[in-house]
Structure 1
């Protein structure tokens, strides 16, 4: 049987939060990895994840098809992880997550390669959220160019250096209250970044269904209030949880979209919280889930204490009640 060392995988967006986990998972399986990013000079942190010469970063921007096609030369598999949480300048949802995903798929089709595309639970062409609409457009563009592509739709992803649990833990460190947009009743199914990376690596191995749309969620469905309470418990903080109606949150987002760090909030993020973000019954019945791939998902309660300790008042030296 041929070794994976003979297989080159191009990972678009491989230097981000999820990208690092995916590159690590693929390195452990001995693939050669080309990481295609806008700023390859800032991707040096990936090198320790693999063996000498196993990872190579190149420049590619999804808004420029020639750079995307160049990054596919000689590759047999492509993984598209590129996504943004907020728009900035030319980096719009449509340009990156809609048209950009299609650009990658066309390059993959031209190379005769296989493709794994990461979207998001909630991708819906009829959504009030521009983020969700662009994710749906991206899926359509990918399947139009590469019908055999495997698509993964994770719920909110957590893990070290995420922009979810770390964000609220950081906010609790400097604010006397945490906002519960819409009352904190929105349901989420947080999924561990390592589990998502394993699923993607399995798809690269050929273990996932070609053309399948998988929905990836953790072992628990939690409300935003329950997640906030869990983060406060882990970090040993006592903060008020203040209900914030959607209308008021949307109004505040007009100003907070320019705020720094954990205070940043966009109107589109408010729109996303109007809908639950959980694995559908259809995906479960079809086996298009982590469990369907033979992966037992880790819980946020079991993993988050391993990295959120830094938000405690005394960090790793904080004493926890028995």
Structure 2
């Protein structure tokens, strides 16, 4: 299955930039809708990428974007929603549930059959958090279209790499504060490298054996949240005092206060997500999955001494190679 044109929805974000770069390397023309084209200068520089100002929540605009496309990749996701309610707020509903439904409808109307969708590890309709619950609802919408569309769903654990919003956030906090209160420190993760995630999304596009399948994307090692924070501290050359707040009232008080910030590093809903360990049993790995270790990449963008390979990855990303 040869693809020449791909619509990358949510492509202006962290993972989207890596996927766009890898598609561009292969000569694939990539259309990325964005609300603010001027804020995506790095992607505009990629030779086969076209940034289009558009509102993908508008069904007519979405249908127009589908014209001439061979495949659609949906990466849209948000971590926080100020409209907190059960089972999930309006923001989560719009991004994780309504948009997948609109994408499926527009694809059917436009005759585009290939869809690759990013969900989240442990997403489920009955999950404890609004984030995981809404992601599970959106995943169900995609699954329901599998009879009409060639769909593949990926469920990554937390994603790390240069410019990530995970380890970099902890690095900033560690540099600023000698004491770091930490909620849910025993929550378990299996962090996955953004380069591995991007490669899987791109490689599966033309692979018919992945149609109708759901894959979990995780790194080679399980860490507690506290272990990742301590590792980040060592890389940035700091030794903060970490105070374990557990998963009770103090943790939720801290999360509630942080949630009030303009770009919150943590919310109460994030804590609820961490009630479920973000790890895999390996039964649903992507074929030929050989994930990159955290220790092979993180020193290159967190420590003061850069490692050569991650630095090269950043140059390739910026140059579109």
TM over 0.5: yes
Paired residue for 2:155, among 142, 147, 153? 153
Q: Deviations over 1:75-98 (max 9, x none)?
A: 010000011111257970011111
| 1:131 alignment partner in structure 2 | 131
Q: Which residue of 2 aligns with 1:197?
A: 198
Judge conservation of contact 2:33–2:56 (CA < 8 Å) in 1. Answer: no
- Kindly indicate whether structure 1 or structure 2 has the higher relative contact order, using CA contacts under 8 Å at least 6 residues apart: 2
Compute the displacement of 1:40 (Å): 2.7
In structure 2, relative to structure 1, the CA distance for the partners of 1:41 and 1:73 (3 Å cut) is farther
Q: Distance in 1 between matches of 2:181 and 2:101?
A: 37
**Pair 1:120-2:120 in alignment:** yes
With the length of structure 1 as denominator, give the TM-score of the two structures. Answer: 0.86
Q: Which runs of 4+ in 1 moved over 3 A?
A: 88-91
8 Å contact from structure 1 (residues 188, 277) kept in 2:
yes
Structure 2 residue corresponding to 1:17, chosen from 2, 14, 36: 14
Q: Distance in 2 between matches of 1:189 and 1:77?
A: 29
**Equivalent in the alignment of 2:251:** 249
Partner Cα distance (2:189, 2:204) in 1: 24
**Structure 1: 5+ residue stretches without partners:** 317-322
CA contact (8 A) 1:189 1:278 kept: yes
Tell me the distance in 1 between the aligned counterparts of 2:224 and 2:157: 13
When residues 60 and 188 of structure 1 are mapped into structure 2, their CA distance, relative to the original with a 3 A threshold, is same
Give unmatched runs, 5+ long, in structure 2.
84-88, 307-321
What is the correspondence of 1:201-240 to structure 2 with a 5 Å cutoff? 201-206=202-207, 209-240=210-241
Compute the TM-score of the two structures, normalised by the length of structure 2: 0.87
For the residues of structure 2 that align with 1:61 and 1:179, how far apart are their CA atoms?
39
Q: CA-atom RMSD, angstroms?
A: 2.0
Contact 2:77/2:95 (<8 A) preserved: yes
Deviation at 1:107, TM superposition (A): 1.4
**How many pairs were matched up?**
297
The aligned counterpart of 1:289 is: 285
Q: Where in structure 2 are the equivalents of 1:26-37 lying within 5 Å?
A: 26-37=23-34
Cα offset for 1:260? Answer: 4.6
- Residues 42-98 of structure 1: CA distance to partner in whole angstroms, max 9, x if unpaired? 2232033x32xx111113334321222221111010000011111257970011111
